[in-house]
Structure 1
Amino acid sequence: MSGPLWLTPDDRQDTLPVIPRPRPRWAAADDPMDELAERLRDLIEAAVHPDEIAAILESDGMTDDHIRLTYGRMNSFELAEDLYDRVPRTYPEPALKPGDPWHVALLPCLLRGLVFALPGLAYVLGAPFATGAAPIAVLLAGALTGWAWNQALAHRAYTWLGLGDRPAAARALLTGAPLGALLGTGVAFAAAGAGEGPAVAFASAQALYQAAATVLLVLGRERLLLAALAPMSVGAVVALAYDLPDAARLVLLALSPLAVLVLAGVELLRGVAGTRRAGSSRGPGGPRLVSSLPYGVFGLATGVLVLYAALPSGAGAGAGAEAAPGAVALTLSMGPAEWLLHRFRSGTLSGLRRSSTPGEFRRATAGTLARCLGQYLLVLTVLAAIGTLVWPQAGGFDGVRFLALLLIGTLMWTGLLLQAFGAVQAAAGVCGAAAIAQTLAVLSGADAGVSLAAPGAAALLLAALAYGLLGRATAHRG
């Protein structure tokens, strides 16, 4: 026989063989394209280009032969274009709460802020042992030295933790913390005059506490630190209402720092013991020492500015503690400040998901920045008001002192924000210049208007830098 078997004898000579053809979309039977589009709907809706769908098809094992036989398209790219046209774009936004890497609880941040502020109660207990302007200067010199050193040390240890090497972080703390305590004691001794031995001893204990507290904070032991500070804190509150004997004051002053020192030593010994058990050694890719220097400068500068927040307008360098609520408010506000830094990160992440153009993202970032900074300044205002009520002998905040407090708060929060995004050199440079200018203004006896110029200009500059840098999507990678 000549011709295909399925042809009748009458039509074999003038009929072409039947060739399988793609099923038309209007056919009554189910279209395999519809089934495929429904199965991949979620992925197709989120695709921004047909090539993304083509990649999904190829990863699903679809060959060009299978696509031609099943869907009547030449290859995966042609099939992807058809699917892209069939299914509209919706770009479903993932649930933010479970997928937000910057979501943190408020309570741990508040706890850290409390831990930062409670050591200030030691000055209440130690007031009878350090009177006059000179001993206070000795204590402040030691405290500022420790603040700068431990900021740099904390950065180095946190960098090791970020690299996943906790033993190396413990070794860095084991080496750096004692050196910081010796440096703080040496600076206090150099600033002391004749007959100021008790102030130097207090400053030495202060330096030891700062070093040990840095260890516990970096290693995430805030609750242990808070428990160790409880005796001194309770004693200071009692001393505000009752005149405690000097012996009781000395015991309370020694008890909490010793407890902190022991706890820090235990944590460091555990880290070193873990290093020996694991047989780990420091790799060549660790952080450079010089990379921690800007963090120390930033810590010193902000410490100086917080100190000046405790001075009334136009006061000289030897002013007393009559305006301490401002410094206490700034210290306590560091807990909410840390939480709001995370909220800014979370807000910009949400802005990245919502924005489709660089201009939209920049506007979203500006709104998030203004909202988080405004919330921080509101918290700072409330804390200052509470401090004034609890400490009435310090006097109320007049307009100039209140404005100075808000300016320094703005400078500190925006500086921390830039530091969190890696722009620590800019933050350290601006804050350092502001601290130097403020020191010169106070030492020269400038009035309030002049003394506000440095923190005001620095606050505006840092806010502008934060907007300019963080308004770019590339600043938020990772």
Structure 2
Amino acid sequence: MSGSLWLKAESAGLDTLPAVPRPRPSWAAADPIDDLTTRLEEVIAAAVHPDEIAAVLESDGMTDDHIRLTYGRENSFALAEDLYARVERRYPEPDGPPADPWHTGLGGCLLRGLVFALPSLAYVLGAPLLAGPAAAPGLPAGTVPLLAGAVTGWVWNQALSHRAYSWLGLGDRAAAARTLLRGAPAGALVGALVAFAAAAAGPGEWGGAVFAAGQAVYLAAATVLLVLDREKALLGALAPLIAGTPAAHWLGLPDPARAALLGTSLALAVGLAARELPPWTAPSGERAPAGERAPAGRAAPRLAASVPYGLFGLGTGGLVLYAAIGDVVAEGAGASVAGPTAVALTLSMGPAEWLLHRFRSESLAGLRACTSARAFRRTTAVTLSLCLTVYLAVLLALAVTGTLLWPGAPDIGGTRLASLLLIGTVLWAALLLQSFGAVLTAAVVCGAAAAAQTVALATGTGDPRLVGAGVAGSAAAVLAVFGAVLLGRATAHRT
């Protein structure tokens, strides 16, 4: 080594020789990371964040042990960061319009919201049939069996819907129909039994139990029609109910006429649901039509996978019920828990569904347009804020309209308004997390909120509206944290 190099090393306090770069000899093996970079160049160039590359590596079956032995990196994330730094970002435009699996029409979503909310008219039409002594704690007669049957139906039918949709996702419509054919009647029976068991706990509840049994049968039929995309048929089944409610209010229909209108809508819903199932239920030994069978080798959906969706239905349904109960207990709003608050929340589910699809669609567009993870997170946050603001504005408009039109509805005060908007925020945020696969997280948060309100109502703790606002606010904060963690990752938005 020359004297100048030695003096330079000595002056720097080094006790080792400086490294001298040498060209790789021609006989040396190629760097495996270079080969991997070449093979995945297009994927790496289009990635917004190294985590996207890590997901691709893991999907190719690369374990951490393999990565350490082959590429000399600790794990898939370290290797992904190296690959990300080696390739310049570029986002080639597709040949045609980019695919958007989340595009959906507004009309269909509004129709679904309508058929979710219109059955609440049955409580108005059937109110005289539920007359009796007030239920504790100060609730209208028949409330306990009605709520017990409704909650049971929501849990069962949410789980049933998920299992049927899972079969549809595999392309086996016949299996989905068989699932509905077996599960819907069983759900109706369970809901009716729970309602009658609840009625046995208090006097004067048998009228509510009979009503709840019909409600359980309707929920089962409606589940079949909604899963099989027959919303218009379900709307037609509700026509007698829609026409009879104004007549009952203005003309004062006798009880037999009210019961006949309710029974007609129920019979139509059951008949239409039964008509939808036989064409898809192939006889034993007969093959389902081509294109409607699960691909060969695909396993059947796991029953356990549908349980979180049932719990999700329990939590979100409980929040809607307690919002309505808060009006009844605090204001004495009529003899039914199906007041303007509950109707506004159920009607808003149509716009909520469309806005969820809109957010997922805009997220995909952001993945294509943004050139950094920070820009993508900023774009996602803005889109999320806009969608949530629009949903709350729609919910507020529905609540104000319902209050003006609903006979004997409570005034919209600050507490009621705050509780309604906070519950709406929780419902929309929970649906958003569910659409990203975090259904168990959403179910646990909503279930805990509903349980807290159950305890407060049972013990008579505080104003139900104030309690509801506090519980909903806490749940919204928890969901916001989970949402920020989940939605901030670019990989979560890949379909």
The TM-score range, normalised by the shorter chain, is 0.7 to 0.9
The alignment yields a C-alpha RMSD, in angstroms, of 2.8
The alpha-carbon deviation at position 248 of structure 1 amounts to 1.3
TM-score by length of 1: 0.77
How far does the alpha carbon of each residue in 1:217-241 deviate from its partner, in whole angstroms, 9 at most, with x for none? 0011111111111111111122122
2:486 maps to 1:469:
yes
2:142 touches 2:206 (CA, 8 Å); kept in 1? Answer: no
Q: Which residue matches 2:320?
A: 306
1:359 to 374, 379, 382: 374
The alpha-carbon deviation at position 327 of structure 1 amounts to 0.8
Counterpart of 2:303 in structure 1: which amino acid? L
Q: Which residue matches 2:170?
A: 163
The alpha-carbon deviation at position 97 of structure 1 amounts to 6.8
The alpha-carbon deviation at position 322 of structure 1 amounts to 7.5
Mapping of 1:281-430 within 5 angstroms? 285-312=299-326, 315=329, 320-321=335-336, 324-430=339-445
Q: Matches of 1:288 and 1:100 in 2, distance apart?
A: 28
Counterpart of 1:208 in structure 2: which amino acid? V
2:449 touches 2:471 (CA, 8 Å); kept in 1? Answer: yes
Q: Which residue matches 1:99?
A: 99
Q: Which residue matches 1:74?
A: none
Q: Which moved more, 1:448-457 or 1:338-347?
A: 448-457
Q: Matches of 1:150 and 1:105 in 2, distance apart?
A: 25
Closer, same or farther: CA 322–207 of 1 in aligned 2, 3 Å: closer
* 3-state secondary structure, aligned to 1:422: coil
* 3-state secondary structure, aligned to 1:394: coil
Q: Which residue matches 1:112?
A: 112
Q: Matches of 1:330 and 1:209 in 2, distance apart?
A: 20
How far does the alpha carbon of each residue in 1:183-234 deviate from its partner, in whole angstroms, 9 at most, with x for none? 1001000011355433222111110000010000001111111111111111
1:46 touches 1:90 (CA, 8 Å); kept in 2? Answer: no
Structure 1 unpaired stretches of 5+: 1-44, 50-87
* 3-state secondary structure, aligned to 1:173: helix
Closer, same or farther: CA 274–354 of 1 in aligned 2, 3 Å: farther
1:438 touches 1:455 (CA, 8 Å); kept in 2? Answer: no
Mapping of 1:40-119 within 5 angstroms? 48=45, 91=91, 93=93, 99-119=99-119
1:150 touches 1:210 (CA, 8 Å); kept in 2? Answer: yes
Counterpart of 2:391 in structure 1: which amino acid? Y
1:369 touches 1:467 (CA, 8 Å); kept in 2? Answer: no
* 3-state secondary structure, aligned to 2:142: helix
Closer, same or farther: CA 171–46 of 1 in aligned 2, 3 Å: closer
The alpha-carbon deviation at position 368 of structure 1 amounts to 1.2
Aligned length: 397
Mapping of 1:111-130 within 5 angstroms? 111-130=111-130
Q: Which moved more, 1:107-116 or 1:224-233?
A: 224-233
Closer, same or farther: CA 290–318 of 1 in aligned 2, 3 Å: farther
The alpha-carbon deviation at position 442 of structure 1 amounts to 2.2
2:265 to 256, 260, 282: 256
1:267 to 264, 276, 287: 276
Structure 1 segments (4+ residues) deviating >6 Å? 95-98, 280-284, 316-319
Q: Which moved more, 1:438-447 or 1:166-175?
A: 438-447
2:126 touches 2:258 (CA, 8 Å); kept in 1? Answer: yes
Q: Which residue matches 1:64?
A: none
Q: Which residue matches 1:150?
A: 157
Q: Which moved more, 1:318-327 or 1:258-267?
A: 318-327
Q: Which residue matches 2:216?
A: 207
Counterpart of 2:103 in structure 1: which amino acid? H
How far does the alpha carbon of each residue in 1:95-121 deviate from its partner, in whole angstroms, 9 at most, with x for none? 997732211110000000000011111
Closer, same or farther: CA 97–334 of 1 in aligned 2, 3 Å: farther
Q: Matches of 1:331 and 1:410 in 2, distance apart?
A: 13
Counterpart of 1:454 in structure 2: which amino acid? V
2:331 touches 2:410 (CA, 8 Å); kept in 1? Answer: no
1:313 touches 1:400 (CA, 8 Å); kept in 2? Answer: no
Q: Matches of 1:324 and 1:450 in 2, distance apart?
A: 19
Q: Matches of 2:417 and 2:268 in 1, distance apart?
A: 37
* 3-state secondary structure, aligned to 1:220: coil
Q: Which residue matches 2:241?
A: 232
* 3-state secondary structure, aligned to 1:402: helix
Closer, same or farther: CA 451–336 of 1 in aligned 2, 3 Å: closer
TM-score by length of 2: 0.75
2:127 touches 2:336 (CA, 8 Å); kept in 1? Answer: no
Q: Which moved more, 1:309-318 or 1:162-171?
A: 309-318
Q: Matches of 1:92 and 1:379 in 2, distance apart?
A: 38
Counterpart of 1:200 in structure 2: which amino acid? A
Question: Whose RCO is larger (CA < 8 A, sep 6+)?
Answer: 2
1:322 touches 1:394 (CA, 8 Å); kept in 2? Answer: no
